[in-house]
């Protein structure tokens, strides 16, 4: 398995595994035993980077990841997140909260659920406009000094917020959506983190399945699937975005690859410090995704690909268009 570095210090596999969908977000949770086996199969195939969060479930995904990876302590990197307020009586997320006391509470509870002595990478899940980012970064800095956290991360933060946080506690990675059909971060965010030496962890690199060619306008989503709520996944938007999928198919045929492998290989090709974290609940999809590492583009192919991509207007706003917050 190829390796990449986040923040010049944290070495991980070139691909990570996003674990959210195993427990949360895409309808009923998958079978626990099957997901433990899937996570362990990923380790056997060289994946060392696994992504979860307190809010996924809530809590159940961290417990799953902790149990699955307990035999591999010291061999893998587990990233989790704080930053939401969770109503425990109703077991649901009710707004953001990055108060220092909440960050500390999440850290202590996540350590137990993940069955680790220190959290490898601790992200602020979403920027809290009511808490100065300096207070957030300072709290994580203290947790690092106490040996409870190893690296600090942000998610969906704006450039100004990244600069301010990094000045207090160096940020190892920014996790944000980045894919063939969401490239807005190239305008300001990617130049900012490149300047600061921060890695990018790209979530939804397959557009929640659409860019893999596994969804079309006739696809129906299960109850509880977040795609039922997102404008980019309406029947009309899925039909309107067929041009982008057709372009991906064309490149897939030229490269003797699948659409998913092309979409992932494109993300990998943009910067050597970008690590995509596609999620799946199927072993054959995991193996297909890992096959993207064999797909290489020439500089000319990348230039042509980008030219053709930029000529296509993607319909429907993305998942969290309003989530980029700058303090």
Q: Which residue has the tokens 């990478």?
A: 121
* Domain ranges for the chain: 3-206+261-295
Q: Calculate the average pLDDT of the chain.
A: 95
Q: Return the pLDDT at 315.
A: 92
| Predicted model pTM | 0.97
Q: What is the pLDDT of residue 21?
A: 97
pLDDT in tens, 68-95: 999 999 999 999 999 999 998 888 888 9
CA contacts within 13 A on the Cβ side of 184:
17
56 is catalytic: yes
What pLDDT score does 97 carry? 96
The pLDDT of residue 325 is: 59
CA angle, corner 325, sides to 321 and 327, nearest 5?
165
Question: pLDDT tens digits for 218-240?
Answer: 999 999 999 999 999 999 999 99
At residue 320, does pLDDT exceed 70? no
Sign of CA dihedral 73, 74, 79, 82: positive
- Residues forming beta bridges with residue 51, ordered by sequence position: 18, 79
- The proportion of the chain whose per-residue pLDDT surpasses 70, expressed as a percent, equals 98
Class in CATH terms, 3-206+261-295:
alpha beta
Phi first, then psi, for residue 106 (nearest 5°) are -60, -45
Confidence of residue 324 (pLDDT cuts 50, 70, 90): low
Mean predicted confidence (pLDDT) in 138-142: 98
Give the residue from 199, 206, 191 showing the smallest Cα distance to 77.
199
> d(Cα 154, Cα 137) in Å, to the nearest integer?
10
Beta strands in the chain (DSSP E): 3-6, 10-13, 17-18, 49-51, 77-82, 84-87, 92-96, 119-124, 149-155, 171-177, 199-203, 274-276
Q: What is the four-CA torsion angle of 276, 281, 285, 286, rounded to 10 degrees?
A: 50
Q: Which of 56, 123, 178, 233 is catalytic?
A: 56
Query: What pLDDT is stored for residue 322 in this prediction?
Result: 47
8 A C-beta contact, residue 15 and residue 203: no
Report pLDDT for 326.
Answer: 72
**204, containing H or E segment:** none
> Would the pLDDT of 317 be above 60?
yes
Q: Is 101 exposed, middle or buried (0-12, 13-18, 19+ CB in 10 A)?
A: exposed
Examine the pLDDT at 319 and tell me if it is beyond 90.
no
């Amino acid at each position: 398995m190829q390796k990449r570095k986040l923040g010049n210090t944290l070495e991980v596999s070139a691909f990570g595994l996003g674990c959210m969908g195993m427990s949360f977000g895409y309808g009923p949770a998958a079978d626990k035993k099957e997901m433990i086996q899937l996570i362990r199969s990923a380790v056997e195939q060289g994946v060392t980077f696994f992504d979860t969060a307190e809010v996924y479930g809530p809590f159940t995904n961290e417990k799953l990841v902790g149990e699955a990876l307990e035999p591999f302590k010291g061999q893998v990197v587990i990233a989790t997140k704080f930053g939401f307020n969770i109503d425990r009586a109703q077991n649901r997320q009710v707004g953001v909260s990055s108060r220092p006391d909440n960050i500390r509470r999440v850290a202590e509870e996540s350590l137990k659920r993940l069955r680790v002595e220190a959290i490898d990478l601790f992200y602020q899940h979403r920027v809290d406009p009511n808490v100065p980012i300096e207070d957030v970064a300072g709290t994580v800095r203290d947790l690092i000094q106490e040996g409870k956290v190893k690296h600090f991360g942000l998610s969906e933060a704006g450039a100004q917020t990244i600069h301010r946080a990094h000045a207090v506690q160096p940020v190892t990675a920014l996790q944000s959506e980045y894919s063939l059909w969401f490239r807005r971060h190239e305008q300001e965010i990617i130049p900012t983190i490149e300047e600061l030496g921060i890695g990018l962890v790209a979530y939804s690199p397959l557009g929640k399945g659409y860019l893999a060619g596994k969804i079309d306008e006739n696809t129906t989503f299960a109850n509880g699937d977040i795609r039922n709520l997102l404008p980019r996944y309406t029947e009309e938007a899925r039909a309107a975005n067929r041009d982008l999928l057709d372009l991906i198919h064309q490149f897939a045929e030229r490269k003797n690859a699948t659409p998913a492998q092309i979409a992932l290989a494109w993300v990998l090709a943009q910067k050597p410090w970008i690590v995509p974290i596609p999620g799946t609940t199927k072993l054959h999809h995991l193996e297909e995704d890992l096959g993207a590492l064999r797909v290489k583009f020439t500089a000319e192919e990348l230039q042509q690909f980008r030219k053709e991509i930029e000529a296509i207007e993607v319909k429907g706003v993305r998942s969290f268009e309003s989530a980029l917050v700058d303090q």
